[in-house]
Amino acid sequence: MQLYGVDPATVRRAVEMIRERDLADHIDLNFGCPVPKVTRRGGGGVLPWKTELFTRIVRAAVEAAGPEVPVTVKTRIGIDDDHQTFRDAGLIAQEVGAAAIALHGRTVVQHYSGNARWDAITELKELITDIPVLGNGDIWSAEDAIEMMEQTGCDGVVVGRGCQGRPWLFADLAAGFAGKPDRVQPSMGDIAVILRRHAELLIEFFEDEGRALRDLRKHVAWYFKGYPVGGEMRHRLATMESLADLDAKLAELDLDSPYPGSAVEGPRGRAGTPKKAVVPEGWMASRELSDAHATRLHEAELDTSGG
């Protein structure tokens, strides 16, 4: 389970609840999110700039989790190139007992634009010697994962956008790491089965068929990227109303169509462009947490905060 928080006491209690109710075998602390609604509260990718606060949160989570539940940390290079935090974050995570640290090779300002900077992962791996360092950013295939590990020396990879509409990527990674020559390359028929199963699981989760199918619509373009599915059919699939409607439309596809190769690879969704980091006023003036910022962070954890 991944947690986001800006207050050590709140994060501690959240981890205690997860452990007491046996809700997760592994807890990940998210210090990588670049979304303004998170960063304007001082959270996500901008929080590690406040070194003491970052330390207190990670330590609280590790202590609350105990030895039976590993706590990992995910972070970015920093807010921007002039406000880098990944080195300190790695050293702190190692010192307070985190099980591993994952680095997304982009700054908050970059969001998801451009290319991930794997050289930062290399640098972090050379700096951190007691816990695993995991690489994140631009892993679209098993080949990408293997290349990242060879190039950076990292101990493993973390997948984000790469699995959107491509849940078989994890089987592909497992095959690649095991040294198997055969790639996981689903046919159109395989995609139809996977998409249908996705629909079933969403219905089970939401307990509402209409809501589940509306949620599934955004995945259609990702699932069929590179496959011979025309624009009209993609539109029809993206307006499915029921499971029976989905079944009827999937039956119209050329289910024998093979894996289309490189046309499937590459990013999902829009990478966008660099954006100004949205941070609390005065946040970047100092790495120490001011009383005013501490008050705002506490308020951000309240149920009425909207954050």
Residue 160 lies in a domain: yes
Give yes or no: residues 150 and 219 share one domain: no
The answer as to whether 97 is a domain residue is yes
Residue 117 lies in a domain: yes
Q: Is the pLDDT of residue 260 over 50?
A: yes
Q: Residues 139, 40: one domain?
A: yes
Distance CA 58, CA 72 (A): 9
Range of the structural domain that residue 24 is part of: 2-167+269-300
Looking at the structure, do residues 41 and 97 belong to the same domain, yes or no?
Answer: yes
Answer yes or no: do 193 and 45 share one domain.
no
Cβ neighbourhood burial of 299 (10 Å; 0-12, 13-18, 19+): middle
Residue 116 pLDDT > 90, yes or no? yes
From 89, 64, 65, select the one nearest 76 (Cα to Cα): 89
pLDDT for res 267: 77
Confirm if 105 and 117 have CB atoms less than 8 A apart: yes
Q: What is the pLDDT of residues 282-304, one digit of tens each?
A: 999 999 988 888 887 876 666 54
Q: Looking at the domain assignment, is residue 180 inside a domain? A: no
pLDDT digits (tens, 9 = 90+) for 29-71: 999 999 999 999 899 999 999 999 999 999 999 999 999 999 9
Q: What is the pLDDT of residue 294?
A: 86
Query: Could you tell me what percent of the chain has a pLDDT over 90?
Result: 79
Can you tell me which residue has the tokens 């972070």?
A: 75
Mean pLDDT score, 236-257: 93
User: What pLDDT is recorded for position 302?
Assistant: 61
Distance CA(230)–CA(73), nearest Å, equals 42
- Residue 307 in any domain: the answer is no
Q: How many domains does the chain have?
A: 2
Residues 135 and 10 in one domain: yes
Range from 18-27, 129-138, 164-173 carrying the lowest mean pLDDT? 164-173
DSSP codes joined into one string, 24-59: -S-EEEEE----HHHHTTT-GGGGGGSHHHHHHHHH
Same domain, yes or no, for 115 and 230? no
Q: Quick one: 16 and 137 in the same domain?
A: yes
User: Residues 15, 29, 33, 192: which is the catalytic one?
Assistant: 33
Whether 28 and 119 share a structural domain: yes
Q: Give the residue from 269, 222, 230, 225 showing the smallest Cα distance to 249.
A: 230
| pLDDT value at 277 more than 60 | yes
Same domain, 101 and 28: yes
Question: Residue 19 belongs to a domain with what CATH number?
Answer: 3.20.20.70
Give residue 270's pLDDT band: very low, low, confident or very high (50, 70, 90).
Answer: low
Flag whether 156 is in a domain. yes
What band does 305 get if pLDDT is binned at 50, 70 and 90? very low
**b/e map 150-160, b = 16+ CB within 10 Å:** eebebebbbbb
Q: What are phi and psi of 294, to 5 degrees?
A: -60, -40
Whether 272 has a pLDDT exceeding 80, the answer reads: no
Let me know whether 7 and 151 are in one domain. yes
- Residue 154 among the catalytic residues: no
- Angle (CA) 102 293 65, round 5°: 40
Q: Which residues of 227-240 are buried (b: 16+ CB within 10 A; e: fewer)?
A: bebeeebbebbeeb
Closest CA to 287 of 90, 89, 120: 89
- Does 172 fall in a domain? no
Longest dimension (CA), the chain: 64
Residue 114 lies in a domain: yes
CA–CA dist 27, 62 (Å, integer)? 9
Looking at the structure, do residues 35 and 158 belong to the same domain, yes or no?
Answer: yes
Which pLDDT band holds residue 306 (cuts at 50, 70, 90)? very low
35 and 136, same domain (yes or no): yes
